[in-house]
Amino acid sequence: MSQKINLRVWLKIPDAEAATVKNTLVRRLGFGNVLTDVKKERLFSIEVDSGDPEELAKSFAKELVNENKESHKVLIDQLSFEEGYVPVKVALHIEDGEAISTRERLRNRLGFKNVVDVKKATVWKLYFNTLRPEAEQKSREIAEKLLINPHKDSYEIVS
């Protein structure tokens, strides 16, 4: 039976890309009255068909997380986020070369033959001063106006 190791990775240092997205949303796209902050995470979903997922997750984190500037959290067979923001998961719906090369690196260079697949996504954490239904609706607007390229990306509001 395969298991999915979800590795959430975020910067400890200021994130210039997230700051730019926030500025664009507030200054140019008119979300200043509802949006209070924007943060970003990388998400690796690594499917394995054997082994101790906790131990594997530690090994994967050593390879995929730069401890000098990044923090991470591991979730096995589930994906959840803290309260206080709307997580918008953006992933390619076309072939993802980066995910494929990560899978090949784990399998071939590092010898993790139990790695079946790797999916990669960006999770945009949108903080609002409004309640959940309106915040989710605004998140969809933001995703479609700025966070995705409809020709190659898809998004999901993770609840």
Domain ranges (residues) in the chain = 3-157
- Return phi, psi of residue 90, to 5°: -115, 125
Rounded alpha-carbon distances, angstroms, from residue 96 to 8, 53, 103: 18, 24, 11
Per-residue pLDDT of the chain (159 residues; tens, 9 = 90+): 899 999 999 999 999 999 999 999 999 999 999 999 999 999 999 999 999 999 999 999 999 999 999 999 999 999 999 999 999 999 999 999 999 999 999 999 999 999 999 999 999 999 999 998 999 999 999 999 999 999 999 999 998
Encode burial over 23-46: b for 16+ CB neighbours within 10 A, e otherwise: eebbeeeebeebbeebbbbbbbbb
Q: In the chain, what's the furthest Cα-to-Cα distance?
A: 50
Return the CATH number of the domain spanning residue range 3-157: 3.30.1280.10
Find, among 124, 115, 100, the residue nearest to 43 by Cα.
Answer: 124
What's the whole-model pTM score?
0.95
